[in-house]
Amino acid sequence: MKSARIIIFSFALILTTTVILSYKYSQNDDRFITYAVNPKKQELKLYWKSEKGENFRSIQNLKSWLQKNKKGLVFAMNGGMYKADNSPQGLFIENQETLSLLDTSSGGGNFYLKPNGVFYITTDNVPVICPTRDFKDNGEIKYATQSGPMLVIDGQIHPAFKEGSTNLNIRNGVGILPDGRVIFVMSKKEINFYDFANYFKSLGCKNALYLDGLVSRTYLPEKEWTQTDGNFGVVIGVTIPKK
């Protein structure tokens, strides 16, 4: 009887935890536009240049290029900061080729608010976010983009962020949910770093990375959010085959 009670209790605990997590994932916060991706089932890629060496720059340019290559764009967001010539600031890996080196130096601005970090996808389609100091290229990284600061580090909000801060801006970022999916988030209105990071933490993200601010754009027609302009470096996209 005792063992039966333990089994029933364990099952109830698992069921309760599942319900709580499901509630967290399904919460609809009007402050944000969000999109969760399973890289093992969906085609998630990072884009910078076409086969002609031309920077995509905008979501519309990427969308048009994909259409020519018989692919439909279902989601896109600017990914990581960039220099004046639209080249990635810090690390950028595409199809296992390092096109821009990891930046471990110090400086001013959001990118250098340590710890900054790297979002990458392995050749087995496993998504990872880690502080720059922990990043190691073992040759099995398919895509990677570096940005900063980290929003959430091992379940804790970045120590430099202050609750109630008046440093408000449009912001976008990326996190890893407990079930392994990638969650992309952009604020619909100006928000401070603390509240933005806290949203990722409320979703159960152990690690999350800031991508950019005022320039941020998101294309997500399924939620009637279709920003296709912009002037970026790296663009993150999810596609489907198009007949």
For the segment 34-73, what is each residue's pLDDT rounded down to a tens digit? Answer: 999 999 999 999 999 999 999 999 999 999 999 999 999 9
Q: What is the pLDDT of residues 162-184, one digit of tens each?
A: 999 999 999 999 999 999 999 99
Task: Round to whole Å and give the CA distance between 111 and 148.
Answer: 4
pLDDT of the residue at 242: 85
Tokens of 127: 């998504």
Answer whether 158's CB lies under 8 Å from 151's CB.
Answer: yes
Task: Round to whole Å and give the CA distance between 231 and 13.
Answer: 48
Read off the DSSP letter of residue 88: B
Query: Residues near 204 by Cβ (< 8 Å), separated by ≥ 6?
Result: 21, 24, 177, 178
Mean residue pLDDT across the chain = 91
Answer whether 214's CB lies under 8 Å from 55's CB.
Answer: no
Residue (of 242, 227, 238) closest to 60 by Cα position: 227
Q: What is the pLDDT of residues 192-239, one digit of tens each?
A: 999 999 999 999 999 999 999 989 999 999 999 999 999 999 999 999
Average pLDDT estimate for 108-134: 97
Task: Round to whole Å and give the CA distance between 192 and 181.
Answer: 25
